[in-house]
Structures are given as structure tokens and as C-alpha cells.
Amino acid sequence: MCAGARGEFLSNECRLSVTQKRSLCVNTTPYWLDTAKIKTFPPLSEDITVDVLVVGGGITGLTTAYLLKEAGMTVAVAERKQLATIDTGHTTAHLTHVTDLRLREMVKNFGKDHAQAAWDAGAAAIDQIEELVRKEKIECEFTRVPGYLHAPVNGGTKDERESFREDAALANELGFDATYLGIVPKMQTPGVRFANQAKFHPRKYLAALAAAIPGKGSHVFEETAISKLDDEKHRAKANAQFPPRFAQRSGYSIRVSSVSICG
């Protein structure tokens, strides 16, 4: 029940109108969580050995684990809550190589080569998602769409036309398909159109990757928090209690060659 719907929460002075109450009663569950189920996985319940422990079951961890398994390694994903419910479950899910830092700024701070490398990496990441969608036949609404960078819809405080022209020209020079627009569709403000970006349903996509990880010595665990990494012993500890309760085993060990921290 939402705050304000129960009268006892509110004094007479701050009683809300029906409309105000309704506006407080919005469902804040992300669309992605509401519209895709990911199979659940058990917590770690014994000591195990794998080549790589992947800490975190968001898009970074699940992609890493999937690719490592594809490369012939055994992996264990340890997720302390449920898969793809934290940042990955709350994302807007725009797949774009356009960084939050404007291209002009990036070139000014790091040079053209590094700016190009950062954008190339983003483009390669989108290509990889597209490739996995095709290879695993994942129905996750992956669609190539243009992406738009534009001035604030209320017009903002400064005239950004020149800076958008510069960003578009720089992007072209670095090999990216970008076009300056005097008016961005629906926004009625100037901006840049970047071709070949994409959108998808992240949890439908990750449900398929997660399902492909277990087996042949690889595992996915939920409710499994990694609390300690021991470099020398090549061992990680999961679900350990500090201090351990008397006569009770405290957590389980994962023997590993490498650890990938994705949490």
C-alpha cells in the first residue's frame, strides 16, 4: 500500500486530495522486471572449484561468464541477490556508443585516438549483443535504431547549435555516422542523429545468457555474496558469517584461478 492511502499516516493539515494520492500510488517496479522472468538459481551449498569466479550477476557478470564458458573455461557466477535486478534491472536500456561525455570534450581531454577507441568499444559491444541475439535466437526485441543527442526540450540556457555541429563533424572524422539536425524529431530542438544504435529488453536477453551458463563444470548461484578473496590460496569465500557462529560452518569456498569482479 502506498504512503498517503492510509488516513492514519496523515494529519488533518496535510491530507492529500484524491488526485494527489493517485499520483503517489504509481507502480515503481521497473518495466524490465515486470515483463521478463529469469529462471532462479540456488545459493552455493558446497565447496567448488572453477577456472573463473564471476562476482555479480548483472549484464557485466553474465556476459563475462557466458563468453568465458564459450572460450572453454569453467565459471561460477555468484550473485548476492537475484540476477539482473540491480542497475541492470533499472536501466533505460539504450544501446549506444555515444558517451555521456561529449565527443569534443573527450577529444580535448584524451586526444582523437583515445576518443575513437572509446566509441569503437561501445560500437563493438552493441555488435556483440546483436551477434549473441542472433546466435542464441534470443527474443529480446533487439532493434537497430538511430540515437539522438539534443538540447533540452525547454530550450536550455545557451545556444548549443555550434557545439552539435562540431560533435557531428568530429564523429564523421572518426568514422561514425552522425548528422547535425536543426530540429530533432519530436523534441523541436537542435541536436545530432547517430545512426546504428540499438534498443533491447535487457532481462529477456540475459535470461537466455544465464540459462546457457550452467553445466559442464560451470554454475550460476543467487543469494550468494562473495565476502572474501584470498589471493595466495586462490580461494573466495561465499556467504560467510562474521564471526562464524559456534559449531556452525561459515560459508563455502570457491577455488579459482582467476576472479572477475563485475559487481
Ligand X SMILES: Cc1cc2nc3c(=O)[nH]c(=O)nc-3n(C[C@H](O)[C@H](O)[C@H](O)COP(=O)(O)OP(=O)(O)OC[C@H]3O[C@@H](n4cnc5c(N)ncnc54)[C@H](O)[C@@H]3O)c2cc1C
Binding footprint of ligand X on the chain (CB under 6 A): 55-61, 78-81, 86-88, 90-94, 225-226, 262-263
Alpha helices, DSSP H, located in the chain: 18-24, 31-35, 59-70, 87-90, 103-110, 112-135, 161-173, 202-212
**Beta carbon of residue 93, minimum distance to ligand X (angstroms, whole number):** 6
- Nearer to ligand X (CB atom), residue 9 or residue 209: 209
**Beta carbon of residue 7, minimum distance to ligand X (angstroms, whole number):** 33
**Beta carbon of residue 222, minimum distance to ligand X (angstroms, whole number):** 9
Can you read off the three cell numbers belonging to residue 185?
Answer: 524529431
**Beta carbon of residue 180, minimum distance to ligand X (angstroms, whole number):** 23
Strands 258-261 and 52-55 come out as parallel
C-alpha 145, offset from chain centre: 19
Residue with nearest beta carbon to ligand X = 58
- Nearer to ligand X (CB atom), residue 78 or residue 212: 78
Q: Is the peptide bond before 243 cis (omega within 30 degrees of 0)?
A: yes
- Other CB atoms within a 10 A radius of the CB of residue 13 amount to 5
- Nearer to ligand X (CB atom), residue 37 or residue 94: 94
Closest CA to 82 of 28, 33, 138: 33
- Nearer to ligand X (CB atom), residue 79 or residue 160: 79
- Nearer to ligand X (CB atom), residue 59 or residue 149: 59
d(C-alpha 109, C-alpha 78), whole Å: 37
C-alpha 233, offset from chain centre: 31
E strand or H helix at 82: none
- Nearer to ligand X (CB atom), residue 121 or residue 183: 121
| Contacts with 23 (C-beta within 8 Å, 6 or more apart), sequence order | none
**Beta carbon of residue 262, minimum distance to ligand X (angstroms, whole number):** 6
**Beta carbon of residue 78, minimum distance to ligand X (angstroms, whole number):** 5
d(C-alpha 159, C-alpha 189), whole Å: 10
